[in-house]
Structure 1
Amino acid sequence: MMDVHLKSPMSPLGGNLSSKVSKAATVFPSHVRRTFMSSPVDYTGEIVRLLDDIATQTHAISAFVAEGSETITYGQVGTQQITSEFATRLLYRSLAHDGYSCLILAKSREQPLTFPEEVPHGGYVVCISALDADPRAVDQPVCGTIFSIYKRKSSTSLPGKYIDLKQKASDQVAAGFVVYGPSTVLYYTMGHGLYSFVLHPVAMQYFLQPDQRLTIKEKSTAVYGKRTIVSSNTPLGKGVKNYVDSNHDVKMYHTGCMAGNVALMMPNGGALVKPDAHLLCECAPLAFIIEQAGGVATNGEGTRILDLTVGDDYHMKVNFLAGVEEIVHEIERLGKGVAAADSADTK
């Protein structure tokens, strides 16, 4: 029998899925259940079903992204471009009735999304960046969904409260992101390693590929982020600029979204940088993921992202620097050196 491969032309953002392993390959829900059985985080298994619901809803988002429109009709594609708000509504409609979460914090919404009192309220809080994409990209852009899950702090079976958003980043139960492009790939962790799954376009299931934990490549000369960061008059911007200037082989890349940048960084190494990123919806889940892959994630000034705690400002933003430990610390060192020199000049 001929071996059929589904391969993205935009490797490594895409993945390979061989028909030889389609019957024996591990699908996403099975992998989550096995992980949960070895290290349960609750007695109900709500987290297993919640992750399954999130993954299933990304199938629909993937289809809309592929069509490039929110209004797909038979035989033609509508003209309304898919937006983060549209993706947020899709996720909300699914999670509002599954009974496993009590609150959703969406990056695109000023206020947290609560559920009607008559529906079940579960034990988890979900933080999402529903559709991170470059608005200037029009021809099949790379975009992604980032999600993070915490245990609620308020009483169970009741609507979520603001106290449920006052979380320490290291208290995440699970986190992941999905990259939509020529192929759709899901990355997730429950604190026991990072794994990736490729969405089969016919079976509409996420299959584990490769069948092992992912780790960041040790060495690299790449920095992922907008080039405008090097012109920023901040320690982080100066650190990146000096790192790029002092290493002739260093190149900067940007896919248009944080999820896409992390997906590129995993097999290639390097560092990811983004100033003023959303802590709960972007930085915390990606920091959890990158640390599970053997990297580090800081605010660019030596503070570990997972050590940060959210107070009253649940839309808190921080600088984000993550990737190979050696590169991250070198950028921090160069940034601190510039800051110290600038301070001395002003005295």
Structure 2
Amino acid sequence: MDTKDTKIALPVGTTLDRFIMRKQEDFPFATGELSQLLRDIALASKIVNREINRAGLMDIAGAFGSQNVQGEDQQKLDVIANIRFIRAFRNGGEVCTIISEEDEDIIQTGNPDGKYIVAMDPLDGSSNIDVNVSIGTIFSIYRRKTETGCNGDLTDCLQKGVEQVAAGYVIYGSSTMLVYTTGNGVNGFTYEPSLGEFFLSHPDIVTPKTGKVYSINEGGYNSFPQGIKDYVEYCKSNDYSARYIGSLVADFHRNLLKGGIYIYPPTAKAPNGKLRLMYEANSLAFIVEQAGGKATDGKNRIMEIEPTALHQRCPLVIGSSEMVDKVQELLLKSEAALV
């Protein structure tokens, strides 16, 4: 039997390193760098996990005293997580350029021969740290467009989501999980702190086509587009459950596994939405599509949006495919009624 044509299903309990090694052949450009980059992310997430777990004891929770480029108050752990991941990418050597939610400009790693670009939100939902709510890290990986031997530039950084070679997130909650895709399905790994290893716990994640959970901040209901208001009322009339944590990773993770939809629409306060295309929307869109779901801005597929700025914002409708389709149907219907 030709083993090259045989897909080997790795058992639950397989370590992340072994999984990456066995699955490397699924990646068409596999030369080892991407595999090592995923290991770098795993290592940095272990360090961040440690810092989060001792935040209440080490005076590293709470506000840092400054704002990031988004105009949001930085938490101490925002800064720590950003430093840890940047350091991991610099030391690893596979990444030439980083873009981070916490930094206004492109970050050069000092590795001009690095083949990859990383876009990251080092600590999503960090305002929830003080109240012990799940938070996370979100990342996207792209192959650079420019020639190696020099620093990356905006050509490398402003790529459409369809050009991602890998994306994932780490959720720091009751257990710490790393979930990622390289375009061959989605797999989840749970961290075992006593052994210091991530183990395969959720192989081949497939999100349900529909669900009974909707996640949206209804505090902004009065300024939602009419189609979104109609969808909220549709959910209520069908006895759906409202579940909104306020940490994007946590809401997305629950809906990915159990079925549901997350919506951050345009509002009067945030007419372009609040979430960042490059650090949040593209990454999660790649994951949800690989799991059988959908992600749009209400009209357009998220991963086909042309980025024009590092910190570009966009509305986000993401989750189970039939639920996303229903939102789009109601948005189109409401717009048609205005004509």
Normalised TM-score (structure 2) = 0.85
Query: In structure 1, the residue corresponding to 2:105 is in which secondary structure?
Result: coil
Residues 243-301 of structure 1 deviation map (CA, whole Å, 9 limit, x = unaligned): 33432x11221222111111101222011112321111101110000011111111112
| d(CA) in 1 for partners of 2:118, 2:174 | 27
Q: Spell out the pairing of 1:1-347 with structure 2 (5 A cutoff).
A: 25-42=13-30, 44-68=31-55, 76-81=57-62, 82-116=76-110, 119=111, 121-133=113-125, 135-136=127-128, 138-210=130-202, 212-235=203-226, 237-247=228-238, 249-275=239-265, 276=273, 277-301=275-299, 303-311=300-308, 313-341=309-337, 343-344=338-339
> Is the alpha carbon distance of 1:92 and 1:83 closer, same or farther for their aligned partners in structure 2, counting shifts above 3 Å?
same
Counterpart residue number, 2:4? none
Tell which deviates more after alignment, 60-69 or 278-287: 60-69
| d(CA) in 1 for partners of 2:227, 2:114 | 40
Residues 56-78 of structure 1 deviation map (CA, whole Å, 9 limit, x = unaligned): 10001111111225xxxxxx522
Residue 141 of structure 1, CA deviation: 1.6
Deviation above 6 Å: which 4+ runs of structure 1?
A: none
Unaligned runs of 5+ in 2: 1-10, 63-75, 266-272
Query: In structure 2, the residue corresponding to 1:243 is in which secondary structure?
Result: helix
The letter for the 1-side match of 2:139 is: F
Matched-pair contact (CA < 8 Å) for 2:112–2:152: no
| d(CA) in 1 for partners of 2:321, 2:91 | 41
> Is the alpha carbon distance of 1:307 and 1:239 closer, same or farther for their aligned partners in structure 2, counting shifts above 3 Å?
farther
The letter for the 1-side match of 2:42 is: A
The letter for the 1-side match of 2:59 is: G
> Is the alpha carbon distance of 1:236 and 1:147 closer, same or farther for their aligned partners in structure 2, counting shifts above 3 Å?
farther
How many residue pairs get matched?
308
| d(CA) in 1 for partners of 2:187, 2:137 | 16
Give me the identity figure in percent.
Answer: 29
The letter for the 2-side match of 1:195 is: N
Residue 239 of structure 1, CA deviation: 4.3
Unaligned runs of 5+ in 1: 1-22, 70-75
Counterpart residue number, 2:68? none
> Is the alpha carbon distance of 1:229 and 1:239 closer, same or farther for their aligned partners in structure 2, counting shifts above 3 Å?
farther
Residues 178-220 of structure 1 deviation map (CA, whole Å, 9 limit, x = unaligned): 000121011000000100000001111100003x301112331
Residue 237 of structure 1, CA deviation: 3.2
> Is the alpha carbon distance of 1:282 and 1:90 closer, same or farther for their aligned partners in structure 2, counting shifts above 3 Å?
same
Residue 222 of structure 1, CA deviation: 0.7
> Is the alpha carbon distance of 1:79 and 1:205 closer, same or farther for their aligned partners in structure 2, counting shifts above 3 Å?
closer
Matched-pair contact (CA < 8 Å) for 2:12–2:201: no
| d(CA) in 1 for partners of 2:96, 2:207 | 34
| d(CA) in 2 for partners of 1:131, 1:149 | 17
Query: In structure 1, the residue corresponding to 2:28 is in which secondary structure?
Result: coil
The letter for the 1-side match of 2:279 is: C
Counterpart residue number, 1:19? none
> Is the alpha carbon distance of 1:55 and 1:236 closer, same or farther for their aligned partners in structure 2, counting shifts above 3 Å?
farther
Residue 229 of structure 1, CA deviation: 4.5
Query: In structure 2, the residue corresponding to 1:310 is in which secondary structure?
Result: coil
Counterpart residue number, 1:9? none
Matched-pair contact (CA < 8 Å) for 2:21–2:35: yes
Matched-pair contact (CA < 8 Å) for 2:77–2:126: no
| d(CA) in 2 for partners of 1:263, 1:79 | 26
RMSD: 2.0
